Structure 1
Amino acid sequence: MLKPKGFIYLTIIFSLFTGAATASEIGKVVLTLGSPLVERSGQHLFIKRNSPLYTSDTLITPVGSKVLFRLKDKTTISLAENSEFELSRYEFDEETSDVSFKMLKGAFRTLTGSIGKQQNPKFEIHTPVATIGVRGTEFWGGLIFSDALDVTMLEGKGVYIKNEHGQVEILKPGDGTKVFPGKQPNPVSKWTKEMLNKAAEATRVKEPTKNHWEY
């Protein structure tokens, strides 16, 4: 027996709006600037403070927009304007972790939470030119200053940057590297204060009040 058209229409609408609810929530939006979006199940939705985030979401920050979000283990990530960042995989418990995200373009700043305190955390961010892996740290990565990937460690245990051409590891706060497409990561060197400030400003998200706090 054929079902009424109204029933079919309601079923489609219900599936669109409840699809994310069947997935496990992995974090929430903390702060936004401008009009950031999330791409979910083929739809582009505006996000705001306390918006839930799910595996497979892609966060998008158009020009003039930024976003700061927090994951279940208290890891915080902020995105610069004109960024696209996919939450590909997030598996976490008190002893183990398996996290894999993708920065498709733009820049991000990350401060690891409980994952960074684990003995052997697996936390990687893939970019078009290299993969960044962390061992409990605060770090920054971006494709916004040139056609190369810039990475610096701000605090913590260490950051490794690898691709099919080679690998380097950053062990001192304030050190960084540059990775050009199709080449091995450059040797680690100390970033200038100007460069560090420029990177920090790109991913800083401010509360829109007089007594704001920053990340």
Structure 2
Amino acid sequence: MHSLKYLSLILLVCCCFDPVAYAEDDSQPMVGNIIQIQGRVQLFRSGKIEQLKEHTILQEGDRVITASSGRVGLRMRDNSRILLANTTEFEIKRYRFDPVAGTSDAQFKLVTGAFRAITGAIGQQSDPQFEVETPVATIGIRGTDFWGGFIFNGDLDVAMFRGKGVYIRNALGMTEITQKGYGVTVQERIAPPAAKPWPDRKLRQAMESTRL
């Protein structure tokens, strides 16, 4: 009798810690959660807007919008962290992560503003699929800590702080950043140029824009 009670308790605990958790409505799997908020940040989900709070569960299709004084930190299920600057609109388009099979498909979209991403377990996979679409080009990773945004002159800037590499591609070409402290500036309807060292001041400005 006692053995059956203990077995039931163990099964209950295992269910509670299932690696694919579900949101409150049980219809969408949890892909991440909010870990830190500064200022005013909103969540656009299923046609509705709500104020974000720490620990809010995130789902596919969620769009996070920061106000002029707002910043926010997201933690994905693979332990990747995404930090959003003020005046930023960022969407979780698709998120798949299977640690057993070693596969992933993480697709995000930066509409405006800037972000920093520090990849977690996805970045350690042999073929990581982690991309951020922007109006100018798509940014992808090899496993890294990188930054992207439109805060300097309206063009898309991308920099790598550390890691294996970042690629930037659009319909006209592709380039890679393979050294820390290097970056590129991509203009609309122009192929991404070769990466070059960024001045320390620009690197600091990029890093400060998403600091929480």
Which residue among 74, 79, 88 is the counterpart of 1:74? 79
Aligned to 2:149: 142
Report the counterpart of residue 27 of structure 2 in structure 1. Answer: 22
User: In structure 2, what is the equivalent of residue 44 of structure 1?
Assistant: 49
Mapped to 2, the partners of 1:114 and 1:19 lie a distance apart of 25
| Change over 3 Å in CA distance of 1:20–1:154 after alignment to 2 | farther
1:177 aligns with 2:184: yes
CA distance 1:20–1:44, shift in 2 (3 Å): farther
Q: Is the 8 A contact 1:20 1:54 kept in 2?
A: no
Q: What pairs with 1:126-205 in structure 2 (closer than 5 Å)?
A: 126-205=133-212
- Name structure 2 gaps, 5 residues minimum: 1-22
Quick one: which amino acid aligns to residue 27 of structure 1?
Answer: G
Q: Deviations over 1:88-109 (max 9, x none)?
A: 0000011000111000110000
1:87 counterpart residue number: 92
CA displacement at 1:186 relative to structure 2: 2.0
- CA root-mean-square deviation: 1.1
- Between stretches 19-28 and 96-105, larger displacement belongs to 19-28
How many angstroms apart in 2 are the aligned matches of 1:181 and 1:19?
41
Report deviation, 1:20.
5.1
Q: So what's the TM-score if we normalise by structure 2?
A: 0.87
Alignment coverage as a number of residue pairs? 188
With normalisation by structure 1, the TM-score equals 0.85
Is the CA contact 2:32–2:57 (under 8 Å) kept in the aligned structure 1? yes
Q: Deviations over 1:19-48 (max 9, x none)?
A: 854101111100001110110011111111
**Structure 1 portions without partners, runs of 5+:** 1-17, 206-215
Moved over 6 A (4+): none
Secondary structure of 1:195's partner? Answer: helix
C-alpha displacement of 1:158 = 0.4
Distance 1:20 1:54, change over 3 A: farther
Per the alignment, residue 104 of structure 1 pairs with: 111
Q: Distance in 2 between matches of 1:19 and 1:32?
A: 21
1:45-85 per-residue CA deviation (whole Å, 9 max, x = no partner) reads 11111011000000000110010010000000000000000
Q: Any conservation in 1 of the 2:176–2:194 contact (CA below 8 Å)?
A: no
Counterpart in 2 of 1:12? none
Structure 1 Cα separation of the partners of residues 26 and 111 of structure 2: 25
Q: Report if the CA contact (8 A) 2:90-2:110 is conserved.
A: yes
Tell me what 1:61 maps to.
66
Amino acid at match of 1:127: T
Task: Write out per-residue CA displacement over residues 177-208 of structure 1, whole angstroms, 9 at most, x where no aligned residue.
Answer: 01001111122100111000000111111xxx
